[in-house]
């Protein structure tokens, strides 16, 4: 690795009002925030230099996340906790810098490594309050429900999310009870026939009363943690939906589409406006080679082989996916 430059992968979370800021504006926001924080970011050469920065997987408008990543190249011999704190202090309310990882010189960009993502889908608290099923409109003022193609029903259609057992039964029938999940996706030019079973890697219901299940999700979003706390979560609040979906540039399944297919299967007509979608983590394939260069790839494959042998000796299956924040760093594998 060069002593003058470092590649760094930064993890951040997005919540609150910032969830309504689109991907391109988030990119411009970080360009300015990095300058405010005094990070010695590297620039491209040429007549129109730009910061060397790339994001892993764009997040849809309205979604919150604990697992957002971007890579930068810095003109510095080191990058540590002090730089992370400076960048975090430059953030607006709704974005927090959670961590970072120094990457090898010949690392691949995170965008090319993304293979899967975890999502948590839950009913917005205002639709779970007493009387919410009495006829709250399903659409917002901009017709969000109509755009999602999920009708204009009332909040009564979210009843399966009020009962975690019923939700689990529906998930069992939808995901585990079908060999394939055919779905017709309408594009601008034609209709694509998809088998969602190949794109949904995991699907399960989470009981809001199950403390261990909630703890296993490693949630960091302060708003979601407040919702799930015992003080604010009354008995009978029901369940949440957990999804691990295929994500990436070559093949990708949006959580909104998976939720729409689930609703269709259950005979539910309800707007996505009732639900909050939260991205928990973004993953790379564990057997992916995250570095470029013949020598670097060979060294990494040797370490990968050693790691697989260590898992085999311990009697543990080698993981299919690795969180992007733990993948490809100097100490990974």
* Residues 253-300: tens digit of each pLDDT: 999 999 999 999 998 887 888 899 999 999 999 998 888 889 989 988
CATH 1.10.3720.10 fits 6-112+286-326, yes or no: no
**Cα–Cα distance, 328 to 333 (Å, whole number):** 8
**What residues pair up with 322 in beta bridges, in sequence order?**
284
**Cα–Cα distance, 135 to 156 (Å, whole number):** 7
**Cα–Cα distance, 37 to 79 (Å, whole number):** 13
Q: pLDDT band for position 131 (50/70/90)?
A: low
Please report the DSSP string for 153-194 in residue order. Answer: --GGGGGGGG-HHHHHHHHIIIIIS-S--EEEEE-SS-EEEE
* Residues 36-81: tens digit of each pLDDT: 999 999 999 888 899 999 999 999 999 999 999 999 999 998 899 9
**Cα–Cα distance, 122 to 2 (Å, whole number):** 46
* Residues 283-293: tens digit of each pLDDT: 999 998 888 88
pLDDT of residue 227: 81
Say which residues have a Cβ less than 8 Å from residue 325's Cβ, sequence separation at least 6. Answer: 9, 11, 67, 69, 99, 101
pTM: 0.87
Residue ranges covered by each domain of the chain: 6-112+286-326, 116-283
**Cα–Cα distance, 130 to 216 (Å, whole number):** 29
**What residues pair up with 182 in beta bridges, in sequence order?**
195
The distance in angstroms from the start CA to the end CA of the chain is 18
């Amino acid at each position: 690795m060069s002593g003058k430059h470092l590649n760094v992968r930064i993890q951040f979370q997005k919540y609150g009002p910032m969830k309504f800021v689109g991907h391109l504006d988030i990119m411009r926001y970080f360009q300015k925030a990095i300058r405010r924080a005094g990070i010695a970011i590297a620039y491209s050469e040429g007549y129109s230099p730009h910061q060397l920065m790339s994001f892993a997987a764009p997040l849809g408008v309205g979604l919150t996340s604990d697992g957002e990543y971007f890579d930068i190249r810095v003109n510095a011999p080191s990058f540590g906790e002090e730089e992370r704190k400076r960048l975090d202090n430059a953030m607006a309310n709704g974005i927090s810098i959670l961590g970072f990882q120094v990457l090898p010189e010949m690392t691949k960009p995170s965008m090319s490594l993304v293979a899967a993502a975890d999502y948590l889908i839950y009913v917005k608290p205002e639709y779970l309050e007493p009387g919410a099923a009495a006829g709250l409109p399903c659409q917002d003022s901009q017709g969000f429900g109509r755009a999602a193609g999920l009708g204009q029903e009332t909040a009564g259609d979210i009843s399966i999310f009020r009962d975690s057992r019923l939700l689990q039964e529906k998930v069992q029938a939808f995901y585990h009870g079908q060999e394939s999940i055919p779905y017709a996706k309408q594009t601008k030019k034609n209709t694509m026939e998809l088998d969602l079973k190949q794109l949904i890697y995991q699907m399960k219901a989470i009981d809001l009363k199950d403390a261990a299940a909630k703890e296993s999700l490693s949630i960091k979003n302060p708003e979601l943690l407040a919702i799930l706390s015992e003080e604010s979560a009354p008995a009978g609040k029901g369940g949440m939906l957990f999804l691990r979906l295929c994500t990436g540039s070559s093949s990708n399944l949006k959580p909104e589409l998976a939720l729409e297919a689930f609703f269709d299967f259950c005979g539910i007509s309800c707007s996505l406006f009732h639900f909050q979608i939260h991205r928990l983590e973004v993953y790379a394939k564990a057997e992916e080679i995250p570095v470029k260069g013949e020598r670097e790839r060979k060294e990494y494959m040797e370490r990968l082989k050693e790691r697989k042998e260590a898992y085999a000796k311990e009697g543990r299956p080698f993981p299919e996916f690795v969180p992007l924040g733990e993948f490809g760093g100097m100490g990974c594998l």
